[in-house]
């Protein structure tokens, strides 16, 4: 059931197509699909009343007309927010999607996905427990098996218990000293790293140990080519259309 490393897409649309539409909204995911992306990455967050929504930041301020921590808001309160106007007036009325809405859209348009569990301290396991059964229920099984990732080891460990058949990726900013033991304990298929600090030696070391390497966030085609030449398996990009044109699938 677990995908082989080779079957990951090279180009993954990061939060949809966030230069063309407000990030992590249905409009952004539709735009990524229209630009030719095969996969999207998105961020799954837990509301105060344990609903899972698609949202990146801890706070609502940057990407909605709300303010304060999302984790302190009920789902009903979030439903009243506008997640599009901050980006451009044309997106007024775009809402913070539920997890179900996002995955149903992926099923409709044929997008593969990487669900990143964006955890609130103390609720890492809770997020995985609520989100992953929903994700499994809404996923279209003829599409590629999704990837679950998180910066939280606890969340990835919970994913291993809850939905073991979906491959897992551990996210790091910089490759830590103990990455081998973490990857092994989580039975991860991929180590996902910031492209800013990544070196060719690290890519070779991690791939040599049998893991895929995915790098975020890569918006320069030249940088993407360099990373691919080092053996990086996939990149997350804010510019999926341009990257596909310049670098190819
Ligand atoms: O999953 C790759 C990337 O999305 C991780 O960082 O902050 O953009 O969610 P961030
Ligand atoms: Mg993310």
pLDDT level of residue 3 (50, 70, 90 thresholds): very low
Give the per-residue pLDDT at 4: 46
Judge whether 243 and 222 are in contact, CB under 8 Å.
no
216 lines ligand 1 (CB under 6 A): yes
Closest C-alpha to ligand 1, atom 10: 56
Q: Report the relative pairing of strands 168-172 and 147-150 from DSSP bridges.
A: parallel
* Ligand with an atom nearest the CA of residue 42: 2
Whether 249 shows a pLDDT value over 90: the answer reads no
User: Choosing from 15, 51, 56, 168, which is the catalytic residue?
Assistant: 56
Q: 188 CA to middle of ligand 2, Å?
A: 17
Q: Where are the alpha helices (DSSP H) in 110-209?
A: 124-138, 153-162, 179-186, 200-208
Give the per-residue pLDDT at 8: 79
- Summarised one tens digit per residue, pLDDT across range 4-23 is 444 679 999 999 999 999 99
Average pLDDT, the chain: 96
**180-188 contacts at long range (C-beta below 8 A, 24 or more positions apart):** 180/209, 182/153, 183/209, 183/211, 185/157, 186/153, 186/156, 186/157, 186/160, 187/160, 188/156
88-114 mean pLDDT: 98
* Ligand with an atom nearest the CA of residue 237: 1
Give the per-residue pLDDT at 6: 44
Best mutation site among 17, 39, 42, 43 for ligand 1 pocket (most ligand atoms within 8 Å of CB)? 43
Whether 74 shows a pLDDT value over 50: the answer reads yes
For residue 171 the two structure tokens come to 């996210």
Whether 137 shows a pLDDT value over 70: the answer reads yes
- Summarised one tens digit per residue, pLDDT across range 43-63 is 999 999 999 999 999 999 999
166 lines ligand 1 (CB under 6 A): no
- Residue 197: active-site member: no
User: Choosing from 9, 12, 14, 131, which is the catalytic residue?
Assistant: 14
Please give the residue that has the higher pLDDT: either 249 or 199: 199
Domains of the chain in start order, with CATH, are: 2-247 (3.20.20.190)
98 lines ligand 1 (CB under 6 A): no
- Summarised one tens digit per residue, pLDDT across range 161-212 is 999 999 999 999 999 999 999 999 999 999 999 999 999 999 999 999 999 9
41 lines ligand 1 (CB under 6 A): yes
Whether 151 shows a pLDDT value over 80: the answer reads yes
């Amino acid at each position: 059931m677990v995908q082989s490393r080779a079957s990951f897409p090279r180009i993954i649309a990061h939060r949809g197509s966030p230069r063309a539409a407000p990030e992590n909204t249905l409009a952004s995911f539709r735009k990524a699909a229209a630009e030719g992306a095969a996969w999207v990455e998105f961020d799954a967050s837990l509301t105060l009343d344990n609903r899972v929504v698609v949202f990146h930041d801890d706070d609502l301020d940057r990407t909605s007309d709300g303010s304060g921590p999302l984790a302190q808001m009920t789902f009903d309160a979030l439903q009243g927010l506008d997640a599009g106007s901050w980006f451009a007036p044309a997106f007024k009325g775009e809402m913070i999607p539920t997890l179900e809405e996002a995955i149903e859209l992926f099923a409709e348009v044929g997008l593969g996905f990487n669900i990143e569990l964006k955890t609130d301290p103390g609720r890492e396991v809770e997020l995985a427990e609520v989100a992953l059964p929903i994700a499994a229920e809404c996923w279209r099984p003829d599409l590629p098996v999704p990837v679950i990732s998180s910066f939280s080891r606890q969340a990835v460990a919970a994913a291993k218990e809850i939905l073991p058949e979906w491959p897992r990726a551990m996210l790091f900013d910089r490759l830590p000293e103990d990455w081998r033991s973490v990857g092994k304990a989580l039975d991860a298929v991929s180590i996902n790293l910031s492209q800013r600090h990544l070196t060719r030696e690290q890519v070779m070391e991690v791939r040599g140990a049998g893991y895929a390497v995915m790098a975020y966030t890569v918006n320069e085609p030249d940088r993407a080519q360099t990373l691919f030449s080092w053996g990086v398996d996939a990149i997350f990009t804010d510019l999926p259309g341009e990257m596909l044109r310049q670098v190819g699938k």
